[in-house]
Amino acid sequence: MASRLPPLNPLRAFEAAARRGSISAAARELSVTHGAVSHQIRSLEDSLKTVLFERGGKRLKLTPQGALLLPAVTQAFDGIAAATALLDRPTTSGNLRICCVPALLSLWLVPRLGAFTERYPDISLKLTSSNDANLIYSPDIDIAILYGQGGWKDCWTRLWSNFELFPVVSPTLLNTRPLRSVRDIRDHVLLHGDDGREWHSWLAAADQLDMPKPREHFMGDARLATEAARHGQGVALGDSITASSLIAAGELVIPFDLAVPAPDAFYVAARNDVRAAPIAKVFIDWIFDTIESERAAQPRPASRSNGRSLTSARKRNTNTTAPLLEES
Protein backbone atom coordinates (compact mmCIF):
# COMPACT_ATOMS: atom_id res chain seq x y z
CA MET A 1 0.00 0.00 0.00
CA ALA A 2 1.36 3.43 -0.95
CA SER A 3 2.20 5.77 1.88
CA ARG A 4 -0.10 8.74 2.35
CA LEU A 5 1.34 11.82 0.63
CA PRO A 6 1.58 15.20 2.37
CA PRO A 7 -1.06 17.75 1.28
CA LEU A 8 -0.29 19.59 -1.98
CA ASN A 9 -0.63 23.24 -0.87
CA PRO A 10 1.82 22.92 2.05
CA LEU A 11 4.29 21.25 -0.33
CA ARG A 12 3.95 24.18 -2.76
CA ALA A 13 4.57 26.66 0.04
CA PHE A 14 7.62 24.70 1.24
CA GLU A 15 9.12 24.44 -2.26
CA ALA A 16 8.62 28.13 -3.05
CA ALA A 17 10.04 29.28 0.30
CA ALA A 18 13.06 26.99 0.02
CA ARG A 19 13.78 28.06 -3.57
CA ARG A 20 13.31 31.77 -2.88
CA GLY A 21 14.96 31.71 0.55
CA SER A 22 12.20 33.91 1.93
CA ILE A 23 8.64 33.55 3.22
CA SER A 24 7.75 36.96 1.78
CA ALA A 25 9.11 36.09 -1.69
CA ALA A 26 7.23 32.80 -1.66
CA ALA A 27 4.04 34.60 -0.67
CA ARG A 28 4.39 37.00 -3.61
CA GLU A 29 5.01 34.14 -6.03
CA LEU A 30 1.98 32.20 -4.81
CA SER A 31 -0.21 35.32 -4.50
CA VAL A 32 -1.02 34.65 -0.84
CA THR A 33 -0.15 36.34 2.43
CA HIS A 34 3.04 35.93 4.44
CA GLY A 35 0.98 34.35 7.22
CA ALA A 36 -0.60 31.84 4.84
CA VAL A 37 2.81 30.56 3.71
CA SER A 38 4.04 30.31 7.32
CA HIS A 39 0.89 28.41 8.27
CA GLN A 40 1.28 25.98 5.35
CA ILE A 41 4.89 25.25 6.25
CA ARG A 42 3.96 24.66 9.91
CA SER A 43 1.18 22.35 8.72
CA LEU A 44 3.63 20.37 6.59
CA GLU A 45 6.11 20.07 9.45
CA ASP A 46 3.33 18.84 11.73
CA SER A 47 2.25 16.33 9.09
CA LEU A 48 5.79 15.02 8.62
CA LYS A 49 6.67 15.33 12.32
CA THR A 50 9.94 17.06 11.50
CA VAL A 51 11.37 20.58 11.28
CA LEU A 52 12.15 21.69 7.70
CA PHE A 53 13.61 25.18 8.26
CA GLU A 54 15.96 26.61 10.85
CA ARG A 55 14.36 29.62 12.50
CA GLY A 56 15.97 32.86 13.55
CA GLY A 57 18.13 33.92 10.58
CA LYS A 58 17.46 36.69 8.07
CA ARG A 59 17.32 34.12 5.27
CA LEU A 60 15.58 30.77 5.47
CA LYS A 61 17.92 27.84 5.84
CA LEU A 62 16.90 24.23 5.35
CA THR A 63 17.46 21.64 8.03
CA PRO A 64 19.00 18.34 6.86
CA GLN A 65 15.47 16.93 6.66
CA GLY A 66 14.33 19.88 4.55
CA ALA A 67 17.32 19.52 2.24
CA LEU A 68 16.45 15.85 1.76
CA LEU A 69 12.83 16.64 0.85
CA LEU A 70 13.36 19.61 -1.47
CA PRO A 71 14.83 17.86 -4.59
CA ALA A 72 12.01 15.33 -4.68
CA VAL A 73 9.35 18.03 -4.32
CA THR A 74 10.96 20.23 -6.99
CA GLN A 75 11.20 17.32 -9.41
CA ALA A 76 7.58 16.41 -8.81
CA PHE A 77 6.32 19.94 -9.49
CA ASP A 78 8.49 20.19 -12.62
CA GLY A 79 6.98 16.92 -13.82
CA ILE A 80 3.45 18.19 -13.24
CA ALA A 81 4.26 21.43 -15.10
CA ALA A 82 5.77 19.51 -18.01
CA ALA A 83 2.77 17.20 -18.27
CA THR A 84 0.43 20.19 -18.22
CA ALA A 85 2.40 21.78 -21.05
CA LEU A 86 1.99 18.61 -23.09
CA LEU A 87 -1.77 18.76 -22.60
CA ASP A 88 -1.83 22.38 -23.74
CA ARG A 89 0.53 21.90 -26.71
CA PRO A 90 0.43 18.22 -27.72
CA THR A 91 1.57 18.63 -31.34
CA THR A 92 4.35 20.13 -33.41
CA SER A 93 2.10 22.81 -34.86
CA GLY A 94 1.14 26.29 -33.76
CA ASN A 95 3.10 29.38 -32.71
CA LEU A 96 6.58 29.33 -31.20
CA ARG A 97 8.13 32.50 -29.80
CA ILE A 98 11.92 32.83 -29.94
CA CYS A 99 14.18 35.57 -28.63
CA CYS A 100 17.77 35.53 -29.84
CA VAL A 101 20.91 37.63 -29.45
CA PRO A 102 20.82 40.10 -32.37
CA ALA A 103 23.98 39.06 -34.23
CA LEU A 104 23.13 35.37 -34.07
CA LEU A 105 19.53 36.01 -35.11
CA SER A 106 20.21 38.08 -38.21
CA LEU A 107 23.49 36.52 -39.36
CA TRP A 108 22.97 32.83 -38.48
CA LEU A 109 19.40 31.89 -37.56
CA VAL A 110 17.39 33.82 -40.16
CA PRO A 111 19.41 32.52 -43.16
CA ARG A 112 18.70 28.95 -42.01
CA LEU A 113 15.01 29.26 -41.17
CA GLY A 114 14.01 27.81 -44.53
CA ALA A 115 15.34 24.41 -43.51
CA PHE A 116 13.30 24.49 -40.30
CA THR A 117 10.14 25.64 -42.08
CA GLU A 118 10.49 22.91 -44.69
CA ARG A 119 10.72 20.27 -41.97
CA TYR A 120 7.99 21.75 -39.74
CA PRO A 121 5.61 23.67 -42.04
CA ASP A 122 2.87 23.89 -39.38
CA ILE A 123 5.03 25.84 -36.90
CA SER A 124 4.85 29.63 -37.10
CA LEU A 125 7.78 31.47 -35.50
CA LYS A 126 7.74 34.87 -33.84
CA LEU A 127 11.30 36.19 -33.57
CA THR A 128 12.49 38.83 -31.12
CA SER A 129 15.97 40.38 -31.34
CA SER A 130 17.30 40.64 -27.77
CA ASN A 131 20.00 39.39 -25.43
CA ASP A 132 17.95 40.10 -22.28
CA ALA A 133 18.07 37.01 -20.02
CA ASN A 134 14.93 38.19 -18.22
CA LEU A 135 12.95 37.21 -21.31
CA ILE A 136 13.46 33.55 -20.35
CA TYR A 137 10.77 34.09 -17.74
CA SER A 138 8.43 36.16 -19.90
CA PRO A 139 5.11 34.52 -20.83
CA ASP A 140 5.58 36.07 -24.29
CA ILE A 141 8.77 34.06 -24.99
CA ASP A 142 9.11 30.29 -25.30
CA ILE A 143 12.82 29.79 -26.07
CA ALA A 144 15.76 32.16 -25.54
CA ILE A 145 19.08 31.92 -27.38
CA LEU A 146 21.48 34.11 -25.44
CA TYR A 147 25.09 35.19 -25.25
CA GLY A 148 26.29 35.06 -21.67
CA GLN A 149 27.66 32.89 -18.90
CA GLY A 150 24.62 30.62 -18.49
CA GLY A 151 23.54 29.45 -15.06
CA TRP A 152 20.19 31.25 -15.12
CA LYS A 153 17.94 30.07 -12.29
CA ASP A 154 14.62 28.27 -12.44
CA CYS A 155 14.93 27.23 -16.08
CA TRP A 156 16.49 24.64 -18.38
CA THR A 157 19.78 25.83 -19.92
CA ARG A 158 22.19 24.13 -22.30
CA LEU A 159 25.44 25.37 -23.82
CA TRP A 160 24.96 25.72 -27.58
CA SER A 161 28.47 26.75 -28.62
CA ASN A 162 31.67 28.36 -27.52
CA PHE A 163 33.48 30.37 -30.17
CA GLU A 164 36.55 32.49 -30.85
CA LEU A 165 36.97 36.08 -32.03
CA PHE A 166 39.20 37.34 -34.84
CA PRO A 167 39.42 40.49 -36.99
CA VAL A 168 37.27 40.75 -40.12
CA VAL A 169 37.34 43.42 -42.79
CA SER A 170 35.78 44.02 -46.21
CA PRO A 171 37.98 43.08 -49.18
CA THR A 172 37.37 46.54 -50.65
CA LEU A 173 38.83 48.27 -47.61
CA LEU A 174 41.69 45.80 -47.50
CA ASN A 175 42.57 46.59 -51.12
CA THR A 176 42.65 50.33 -50.50
CA ARG A 177 44.28 50.25 -47.07
CA PRO A 178 46.24 46.99 -46.59
CA LEU A 179 46.72 45.15 -43.29
CA ARG A 180 50.17 43.68 -43.80
CA SER A 181 50.79 43.43 -40.05
CA VAL A 182 48.85 43.93 -36.84
CA ARG A 183 50.51 47.33 -36.43
CA ASP A 184 48.64 48.50 -39.53
CA ILE A 185 45.42 48.37 -37.51
CA ARG A 186 46.36 51.80 -36.14
CA ASP A 187 45.53 53.21 -39.60
CA HIS A 188 42.01 51.78 -39.49
CA VAL A 189 38.87 52.29 -37.42
CA LEU A 190 38.21 49.67 -34.74
CA LEU A 191 34.54 48.66 -34.66
CA HIS A 192 33.40 47.51 -31.23
CA GLY A 193 30.40 45.28 -30.57
CA ASP A 194 30.84 45.68 -26.81
CA ASP A 195 32.51 48.09 -24.40
CA GLY A 196 36.00 47.43 -25.77
CA ARG A 197 36.96 44.33 -23.77
CA GLU A 198 36.99 42.00 -26.77
CA TRP A 199 39.38 44.09 -28.86
CA HIS A 200 41.57 44.57 -25.77
CA SER A 201 41.80 40.77 -25.39
CA TRP A 202 42.72 40.29 -29.04
CA LEU A 203 45.34 43.03 -29.05
CA ALA A 204 46.81 41.60 -25.84
CA ALA A 205 47.11 38.19 -27.50
CA ALA A 206 48.87 39.86 -30.42
CA ASP A 207 51.25 41.69 -28.04
CA GLN A 208 50.03 45.03 -29.37
CA LEU A 209 48.63 46.82 -26.34
CA ASP A 210 51.39 49.41 -26.75
CA MET A 211 50.20 50.26 -30.27
CA PRO A 212 49.06 53.87 -30.77
CA LYS A 213 45.33 53.98 -30.19
CA PRO A 214 43.43 53.87 -33.49
CA ARG A 215 40.14 55.55 -34.21
CA GLU A 216 37.15 53.57 -32.96
CA HIS A 217 33.36 53.34 -33.06
CA PHE A 218 31.18 51.61 -30.48
CA MET A 219 28.29 49.99 -32.31
CA GLY A 220 26.15 48.60 -29.48
CA ASP A 221 26.21 44.94 -30.52
CA ALA A 222 28.20 42.52 -32.66
CA ARG A 223 25.64 42.53 -35.48
CA LEU A 224 26.11 46.26 -36.10
CA ALA A 225 29.89 46.02 -35.86
CA THR A 226 29.92 43.16 -38.39
CA GLU A 227 27.63 45.05 -40.77
CA ALA A 228 29.79 48.16 -40.49
CA ALA A 229 32.86 46.09 -41.36
CA ARG A 230 31.02 44.58 -44.35
CA HIS A 231 30.37 48.10 -45.64
CA GLY A 232 34.04 49.04 -45.32
CA GLN A 233 33.70 51.25 -42.23
CA GLY A 234 36.58 49.62 -40.32
CA VAL A 235 37.80 46.40 -38.74
CA ALA A 236 35.47 44.39 -36.50
CA LEU A 237 35.88 41.24 -34.46
CA GLY A 238 33.96 38.43 -36.13
CA ASP A 239 33.53 34.78 -35.23
CA SER A 240 33.13 31.48 -37.02
CA ILE A 241 29.38 31.35 -36.30
CA THR A 242 27.81 34.74 -36.96
CA ALA A 243 30.27 35.85 -39.65
CA SER A 244 30.67 32.47 -41.35
CA SER A 245 28.30 33.09 -44.27
CA LEU A 246 29.77 36.54 -44.98
CA ILE A 247 33.28 35.07 -44.96
CA ALA A 248 32.22 32.19 -47.22
CA ALA A 249 30.61 34.66 -49.65
CA GLY A 250 33.76 36.80 -49.75
CA GLU A 251 32.02 39.82 -48.23
CA LEU A 252 34.41 39.70 -45.28
CA VAL A 253 37.96 38.43 -45.09
CA ILE A 254 40.17 37.44 -42.15
CA PRO A 255 43.44 39.41 -42.33
CA PHE A 256 45.22 37.61 -39.47
CA ASP A 257 45.20 33.98 -38.37
CA LEU A 258 44.99 34.79 -34.68
CA ALA A 259 41.88 34.17 -32.59
CA VAL A 260 41.01 34.54 -28.92
CA PRO A 261 38.23 32.81 -26.97
CA ALA A 262 35.08 34.89 -26.54
CA PRO A 263 34.52 35.78 -22.88
CA ASP A 264 31.06 34.16 -22.90
CA ALA A 265 29.19 31.61 -25.01
CA PHE A 266 25.84 31.01 -26.71
CA TYR A 267 23.20 29.19 -24.64
CA VAL A 268 19.68 27.94 -25.31
CA ALA A 269 17.31 28.39 -22.37
CA ALA A 270 13.63 27.79 -21.66
CA ARG A 271 11.29 27.43 -18.74
CA ASN A 272 10.99 23.79 -17.71
CA ASP A 273 7.32 23.51 -18.63
CA VAL A 274 7.89 25.01 -22.10
CA ARG A 275 10.92 22.89 -22.86
CA ALA A 276 8.86 19.70 -22.42
CA ALA A 277 6.33 20.70 -25.10
CA PRO A 278 6.91 18.91 -28.45
CA ILE A 279 6.73 22.16 -30.42
CA ALA A 280 9.64 23.56 -28.39
CA LYS A 281 11.56 20.30 -28.36
CA VAL A 282 11.70 20.04 -32.16
CA PHE A 283 13.11 23.57 -32.47
CA ILE A 284 15.71 22.95 -29.75
CA ASP A 285 16.74 19.66 -31.38
CA TRP A 286 16.92 21.35 -34.78
CA ILE A 287 19.16 24.22 -33.67
CA PHE A 288 21.58 21.84 -31.95
CA ASP A 289 21.60 19.42 -34.89
CA THR A 290 22.26 22.29 -37.31
CA ILE A 291 25.26 23.74 -35.50
CA GLU A 292 26.71 20.28 -34.96
CA SER A 293 26.44 19.41 -38.66
CA GLU A 294 28.12 22.69 -39.65
CA ARG A 295 30.90 22.94 -37.10
CA ALA A 296 33.50 20.81 -38.90
CA ALA A 297 33.19 22.83 -42.11
CA GLN A 298 33.64 26.26 -40.53
CA PRO A 299 37.08 27.77 -41.25
CA ARG A 300 38.63 29.77 -38.47
CA PRO A 301 42.08 31.09 -37.63
CA ALA A 302 44.28 29.17 -35.24
CA SER A 303 43.98 29.82 -31.53
CA ARG A 304 46.89 31.38 -29.78
CA SER A 305 48.42 30.00 -26.63
CA ASN A 306 50.35 32.23 -24.24
CA GLY A 307 53.88 32.86 -25.30
CA ARG A 308 53.46 32.12 -29.02
CA SER A 309 54.31 34.82 -31.52
CA LEU A 310 51.94 35.97 -34.24
CA THR A 311 54.45 34.75 -36.79
CA SER A 312 54.39 31.21 -35.43
CA ALA A 313 50.62 31.27 -35.39
CA ARG A 314 50.57 32.19 -39.08
CA LYS A 315 52.56 29.07 -39.98
CA ARG A 316 49.95 26.74 -38.63
CA ASN A 317 46.98 25.40 -40.58
CA THR A 318 43.95 27.60 -39.95
CA ASN A 319 41.35 25.16 -41.29
CA THR A 320 40.55 23.64 -37.92
CA THR A 321 37.16 22.52 -36.71
CA ALA A 322 34.87 24.51 -34.47
CA PRO A 323 34.57 23.54 -30.79
CA LEU A 324 32.45 20.56 -29.83
CA LEU A 325 29.07 21.17 -28.27
CA GLU A 326 28.86 20.76 -24.54
CA GLU A 327 25.93 20.41 -22.20
CA SER A 328 25.28 22.75 -19.27
pLDDT digits (tens, 9 = 90+) for 153-191: 989 999 999 999 999 999 999 888 888 888 898 889 999
Q: 229-276, pLDDT tens digit by residue?
A: 999 999 999 988 888 889 988 999 999 989 999 989 999 999 998 988
DSSP state of 75: H
Same fold, 8-88 and 164-261+298-314: no
Strand 189-192: give its sheet, edge to edge: 215-218, 189-192, 235-239, 164-168, 260-261
**Per CATH, which fold does 94-158+265-293 belong to?**
D-Maltodextrin-Binding Protein; domain 2 (3.40.190)
Question: What CATH number should be reported for the domain whose range is 8-88?
Answer: 1.10.10.10
Q: Which CATH architecture is the domain 164-261+298-314 placed in?
A: 3-Layer(aba) Sandwich (3.40)
Confidence of residue 301 (pLDDT cuts 50, 70, 90): very low
Phi, psi of 251 (to 5 degrees): -80, -20
C-alpha distances out from residue 155 to 275, 293, 328, Å: 9, 27, 12
| Closest to 123 (Cα-Cα) out of 152, 163, 96, 99 | 96
Question: pTM for the full model?
Answer: 0.63
Q: Dmax over Cα atoms in the chain, in whole Å?
A: 83
Most confident of the following: 20-24, 57-61, 108-112: 108-112
CB 45 within 8 A of CB 38: no
Q: What share of the chain is helix, strand, coil (3-state, %, to 5)?
A: 45, 20, 35
